[in-house]
Amino acid sequence: MTRTKPSTLTDARRGARLAAVQALYQMEMSGGGVKSTVREYLDHRLGEDSETGPLETADADFFRALVEGVVAEQALIDASIKTRLAKGWRLERIDSIVRAAVRAATFELLRRGDVPVAVVIDEYVGIVNAFFEGPEGGFTNGLLDRLARELNANDLRQLTS
């Protein structure tokens, strides 16, 4: 399937979120660093590739902010997630793709007051549903909804508006 350039900021951010989840997953699996992974995505996975045509197009600045932000604040993000998991669940028990999506979403809930809470939740649930046909999407939705409520994410957005 050939991807064309996004027609809106929404499409560009959607592409950035998907690429960020993939990059976070890749870094966790390979142990790669944030700088080299971001550079790889910016150079070879986003935008135009002269040999194969259009690739996943994304807002490069938003992609970079997501990946670098999650890595820089991973301890806070993971602590925020862990305290909201059901009793007996560990962060490590969550599938690695879901974990990457939840981390990126948590970063947005905490630090991206310019993005509505409902958009954050909807976008990342959509990404998870693109990878899984089972209960992972519902799990992600429930966890992100709880995070948003308990972090008072809507209140944070009003303060930054």
DSSP string for 30-84: H---HHHHHHHIIIIIBSEETTTEE-B---HHHHHHHHHHHHHTHHHHHHHHHTT
Would you state the pLDDT for residue 47? 67
Q: How far is CA 58 from CA 12, 64, 76, 116, 151, in A?
A: 4, 10, 26, 19, 28
The mean pLDDT value for 139-145 works out to: 96
What structural domains and CATH numbers belong to the chain? Answer: 1-68 (no CATH), 73-161 (1.10.940.10)
Could you count the other beta carbons within 10 Å of the beta carbon of residue 54? 12
| Burial per residue of 77-115, b for 16 or more beta-carbon CB atoms within 10 angstroms, e otherwise | bbebbeebeeeeeeeeebbebbbbbbbbbbbbbbbbbeb
Distance CA 49, CA 71 (A): 27
Where residue 155 falls among pLDDT bands split at 50, 70, 90? low
Would you state the pLDDT for residue 53? 46
Do the beta carbons of residue 24 and residue 16 sit within 8 Å?
A: no
Residue 106's φ and ψ, nearest 5 degrees, are: -65, -40
pLDDT in tens, 22-80: 999 999 999 999 999 999 999 888 865 545 444 457 899 999 999 999 999 999 999 99
pLDDT in tens, 70-117: 999 999 999 999 999 988 889 999 999 999 999 999 999 999 989 999
Where residue 161 falls among pLDDT bands split at 50, 70, 90? very low
